Amino acid sequence: MEEKTKKGVAILGSTGSIGTQALEVIESKPDNFEVELLTANGNCTLLIEQAKKFKPNAVVIADESKYKLVSDALWPLDIKVYAGHDALSQCVEMEGIDIVLTALVGYAGLKPTLAAINAGKHIALSNKETLVVAGDLVTQLAREKGVNIYPVDSEHSAIFQCLVGDFHNPIEKIYLTASGGPFRGKTIEDLKHVTRAQALKHPNWEMGAKITIDSASLMNKGLEVIEAKWLFNLKPEQIDVIVHPQSIIHSLVQFEDGSMKAQMGLPDMKLPIQYALAFPQRLKSNFPRFNFMDYPNLTFEQPDIKTFKNLGLAFKALELGGNAACVLNAANEIVVDAFLNDKISFLKMPEVIERCMQDIAFVQKPTLEEYVNTDEQTRLLAQELI
Ligand code: NDP
């Protein structure tokens, strides 16, 4: 039998910011990767266009009302078309898939990721919410199934890259860097009237709407702290956040001898995406190179958790454990959606999240069903509070 030379890639959320960049990476490396599965929520026009170009074995459109449109467009190409959220979890099990890039947004990533791990597929994890909601279940299943979870988030990719060659050496501490977002340096007074448009203007990264708001409120860094705990098996006191407005140092590891390793480069998600898909190889690329003279000063500051309460709330959820981070995530998804729809102010977001964390019943060691219940109850409460 001929040996398979290309990795079969499934991209969950191929029409988003990470998904489209992943397809650019794959297009530039036709000898290394082939696309097996593409999925979208509702953007059928782009999904069809991508499927025509990359000829995957199958596509999934989560919004079932768009099934006919997609299936009419793709049947002449012999591409299987499925619809609905359950189809995401079923399709990740397909035989030709070696690695699943989880590039969909939010809690919706949890079930398909668990299904992929259960089917023995390696994960390139962009969907951080999956680990925030149920990091214990996800990492335990990955260990049982011998599945690797390769981080895509630039900070966690940086930590992972720093650990290569040092996996046997204990980590003393990690530093996750944060750009500080568009509102760095602002006071509570300044934040009272900031708008959606201002929050969507990230200084260094172009990303989907949800993560851009999370970056402005520092919730993104909070979610990343929890993600780091699960990816690298760390205690809360081993994780620190440092604001680095230039986003050149993507994160750092400090080892027990005091030595620190950092990974740096221009802010460009294609690099960590390619690294996760190609690991353990570093594939040649023509991504723009860093020039020291363009950045003569790299600076660092403490995060302002008095003003940006979300980061403190995430650390609290991390300390509490159990279902606390699941509550944090569900409440955050609701308030971000409300903020994006001009229903609440920027400062109302942490207020609602904090109330949900106080009022939703704490479960010390939740089952998957209990996580699902927590998510549902929190969403209802957050909606009421808005
Ligand atoms: P986008 O909003 O740009 O894209 C999300 C993708 O997921 C789209 O393909 C969308 O489909 C699909 N999707 C959205 N909701 C659902 C759902 N309920 N069910 C199924 N599919 C859904 O997000 P990003 O690419 O910015 O982010 C994706 C993930 O990666 C997030 O978890 C984010 O935190 C993480 N991440 C992103 C970074 C970035 O630079 N963008 C950096 C680091 C991490 P459709 O287009 O049809 O709506």
7-151, CATH topology level: Rossmann fold (3.40.50)
Considering the chain, tell me which residue range(s) the CATH 1.10.1740.10 domain(s) occupy.
321-386
Write the secondary structure of 279-343 as one string of H (helix), E (strand) and C (coil).
Answer: CCCCCCCCCCCCCHHHCCCCCCECCCCCCCHHHHHHHHHHHHCCCHHHHHHHHHHHHHHHHHCCC
Q: Comparing C-alpha atoms, which of 102, 122, 98 is closest to residue 111? A: 102
CB proximity list for 2: less than 8 A, separation 6 or greater: none
**Is 94's pLDDT higher than 70?**
yes
CA of 333 relative to ligand 1 center, distance in Å: 13
pLDDT tens, residue by residue, 19-55: 999 999 999 999 999 999 999 999 999 999 999 999 9
Which residue lies with its CA nearest to atom 9 of ligand 1? 13
Residue 127: CB within 6 Å of ligand 1?
yes
Nearest atom, ligand 1, residue 207 CA: 41
**170: cis peptide before it, omega within 30°?**
no
Q: Is 155 in the pocket of ligand 1 (CB under 6 A)?
A: no
**How much is the pLDDT for 206?**
85
What tens digit of pLDDT does each residue of 68-77 get? 999 999 999 9
Residues 155-209 pLDDT 10s = 999 999 999 999 999 999 999 999 999 999 999 999 999 999 999 998 888 899 9
Residue 205 Cβ contacting ligand 1 at under 6 Å? yes
Q: In the prediction, which pLDDT does 74 show?
A: 97
Ligand 1 pocket residue status of 62, Cβ below 6 Å: yes
Would you state the structure tokens that stand for residue 51, as one six-digit string?
A: 């499927």
pLDDT band at 2 (very low <50, low <70, confident <90, very high): low
pTM of the model: 0.97
Mutation choice for ligand 1 from 111, 211, 231, 337, CB with most ligand atoms inside 8 A: 211
CB 217 within 8 A of CB 310: yes
CATH number of the 321-386 domain: 1.10.1740.10
User: Is there an atom of ligand 1 within 6 Å of 79 CB?
Assistant: no
Q: State phi, psi for 229 to the nearest 5 degrees.
A: -55, -45
